[in-house]
Chain A
Amino acid sequence: MFVNQFLFLAAVLFCIGVYGVIARKNAVLMLMSIELILNSVNINFLTFAMRNGSTDGHTFALYIIAVAAAEVGVGLGLVLLVYRNKKTISVDDLSEMRG
């Protein structure tokens, strides 16, 4: 197995996630795209851990999983709050901070 085949898979997933964040208007779908990005980073960490024969990458992959879980929890709490106040979760309609 080449190092690059894993890194290319991670790069493709990362770019698909970036496209999702740009293209989506629905806040829940944006959070899902962010999950795609975080997973591609994890694949990178584990690939380099195997390449260098160390376990540091595993530790950081676990930390990323934990931070992603916290992020989804707070993110969906925010989405619920926005929905309750505005009756929509389309991020285009949240324009109060525009001058």
Chain B
Amino acid sequence: MIAQNVGFWIIAVLMVVSALRVVTTNNVVHAALWLVVVLAGAAGQYILLAAEFVAITQVLVYIGAVMVLFLFGTMLTRARIGAESDLNNSYKKLGIPVGLVMLVAMGLALTRSFGDEKLPEASKVVSTLEVSDQIFGPYLLPFWALSFVLLAAVVGAIVLARKD
């Protein structure tokens, strides 16, 4: 348990620092690379939460596919490979109070609702078998809908980005 706690805090600090860098850095490519750190940290947290299949999917889909899309997007829109000064709104200071108010509200609600409640100690790793039984059992209809969403997204992206 102590090892898991130490792992949690190391990964959590790393994730928060990298997330702050994603929203503050002046370089689009650097932002994408910091985002990789956040996503990898999230995969680590999923493993701590006994969700191995979701963690593997996170690495494959996010770090593998989505990051490549982001880097292609920055290249195709000819962002300068280097620092840019024109990435933020003029009213970006407004975001700080909004974020802080939301954080305080959520923090109060969480402390009040869950207090010192602990996660179950000896929870076993959720196997891929159980997850697939869920997806292809009671949640089959959303799975079908999701397949259509992905198909529509693929077709839509091609139609949008094609040169006529």
Alpha-carbon distance between A92 and B45 when the two chains are bound, in angstroms: 36
| CB pair A51 B110 closer than 8 Å | no
The residues of A with any CB-CB pair to B shorter than 8 Å are 1-9, 11-20, 22-26, 28-29, 31-33, 35-36, 39, 42-43, 46-47, 49-51, 53, 55-56, 58-59, 61-63, 65-74, 76-81, 83-84, 89-90, 92
Is there contact, CB below 8 Å, between B70 and A46?
no
A32 to B70, CA, bound (A): 8
Chain B: how many interface residues by the 8 Å CB criterion? Answer: 87
A59 to B139 Cα, complex, angstroms: 8
Given contacts A8-B110, A33-B23, A67-B146, contact A15 B87 (CB under 8 A): no
Within 8 A of A (CB), among B121-162: 123, 126, 130-131, 134-135, 139, 142-143, 146, 149-150, 152-154, 156-158, 160-161
B interface residues with partner A (beta carbon < 8 Å): 1, 4-5, 8, 12, 15-16, 19-20, 22-23, 28, 31-32, 35, 38-39, 42, 45-46, 48-51, 53-54, 57-58, 61-62, 65-66, 69-70, 72-74, 76-79, 84, 86-89, 92, 94-96, 98-100, 102-103, 106-107, 110-111, 114-120, 123, 126, 130-131, 134-135, 139, 142-143, 146, 149-150, 152-154, 156-158, 160-161, 163
User: B51 contacts A3, CB within 8 Å?
Assistant: no
